[in-house]
Each structure stands twice: as structure tokens, then as C-alpha cells.
Chains A and B, each alone.
Chain A
Amino acid sequence: AQSVAQPEDQVNVAEGNPLTVKCTYSVSGNPYLFWYVQYPNRGLQFLLKYITGDNLVKGSYGFEAEFNKSQTSFHLKKPSALVSDSALYFCAVGGSSASKIIFGSGTRLSIRP
């Protein structure tokens, strides 16, 4: 069975500072890993994904994520946070076929001016 954990319900960062949102996963075989963002009263939007290759994946809005196989982690990062980055962020995992996509519990990111 596949699963994904986001250990932090909320992350608070000052604007301009780097941010990290944590995610760990469990899946059989090679994982497909994803980050999505949700703004209030909206559906989720795709940010980035890792399938294979370079462990550092770049995505939309300046976000990137680092895949670490030994730690089974896929943390979301951004070098300099913006107030507009404030939203709910979800990590997701799919098995080797990427057919069944399971989401974590979400982390609320709050960027203060």
C-alpha cells in the first residue's frame, strides 16, 4: 500500500526567507511524487513532479522539491517566500504506474509580510 505523510499542519515564514514544507512517502517500487497547491475555495493545482532523474525538481512559481530516496522524502522548497505563496500545500504519491494518486493531509503555509 502507498502512503504519504506531511508532519507539519502549518509552516510560518517571513517574506523573503527560504521555506521548506516536509513530505515523506511509502510506496512499492519507484515512486511518482507530486506537489499541489490549493487556494481558498478552489481545486488543487499541480506544482511539480518527480519520476526519475535529477533529485532536484523545479516547478511552477519558483518552487522546487528535493527527492531523497534513502530518507523517502520529497520536501518542497523555495529560496525566497512571497506573501502570495500563502496557501494549502499537498504532497502526493503514485505507484510505479502513477494510476492511483494518494494525497497527504496538507500543510498550511503562511507567509507574513
Chain B
Amino acid sequence: DAGVIQSPRHEVTEMGQEVTLRCKPISGHNSLFWYRQTMMRGLELLIYFNNNVPIDDSGMPEDRFSAKMPNASFSTLKIQPSEPRDSAVYFCASSPGGGRKGELFFGEGSRLTVL
């Protein structure tokens, strides 16, 4: 079975541009998480969804960030406009329910560089 698929793997953009990161969770998983990893701040939870519904977006840095999950097989994280301080690796993870609740399956990440 395919794991969590993220795209693009690498993105270099200029300040002010819109960035869209994409995630396809593992089929059958009912929770989806977006994390950001930097050297300075470590691994930060940005937002998570249960059954496609956003549950907690308190970690989203500011209004420039938005996330959607229009269906069970797709989610996006958008940054508009992007700033150099947004440079980080963004991870998507999905999680099954039931007895494996809380076990996260991570994608390979999207490395964003904002110049």
C-alpha cells in the first residue's frame, strides 16, 4: 500500500508568492495532521482534521496560512503571501482510528524555501 504522499517535495519561491502544498493520506485513515519542522522551533502542529473536519487550527501561525480537506483523500496547506520565515519542511501525517488511534504515518515532507 502507498503511504502518505506529499507534493511537491521541494519548492523554492520568492517572497510574496502563493504556495500550495498537497497531501494524499493513507486510504481509510480518518485523521490528518499538518506539521512544520524547523531547526529553531522543532516540530510544530499547525492543524489537524478528523473525518475531513478541521478540529484545531490553533497552531496556524497567522492568517496567511490556510488548510482545507475537501474529501477523505486530499488536503492542501496554502500560504499566501509567503515570507522567508515560512521556510521549513512541512509534513503531512494521517492516522487510523480504532485501536491504532494516535499512531501517525508521515509523508516524506515538502521542503519550502522562500527567498
Task: Give chain A's interface residues, CB within 8 Å of chain B.
Answer: 32, 34, 36, 41-46, 49, 51, 90, 94, 98-106
Is the C-beta of B50 less than 8 angstroms from some C-beta in chain A? yes
Cβ distance B34 to chain A, nearest Cβ, rounded Å? 12
Q: Is the CB of B43 within 8 A of A43?
A: no
Q: A46 CA to B103 CA in the complex, in Å?
A: 7
Chain B 82-96: CB-based contact to A (< 8 A → 1; otherwise 0): 000000000101010
Residues of B within 8 A of A98 (CB): 101-102
Cβ distance B5 to chain A, nearest Cβ, rounded Å? 11
Q: Across the two chains, which residue of chain B brings its CB closest to A106?
A: B42
Cβ distance B100 to chain A, nearest Cβ, rounded Å? 9
Q: How many A-B residue pairs have CB under 8 A?
A: 57
Task: Give chain B's interface residues, CB within 8 Å of chain A.
Answer: 4, 31, 33, 35, 42-43, 45, 48, 50, 55-56, 91, 93, 95, 101-109
Q: A99 CA to B104 CA in the complex, in Å?
A: 11
Known: A44-B91, A101-B45, A106-B43. A94 touches B102 (CB 8 A): yes
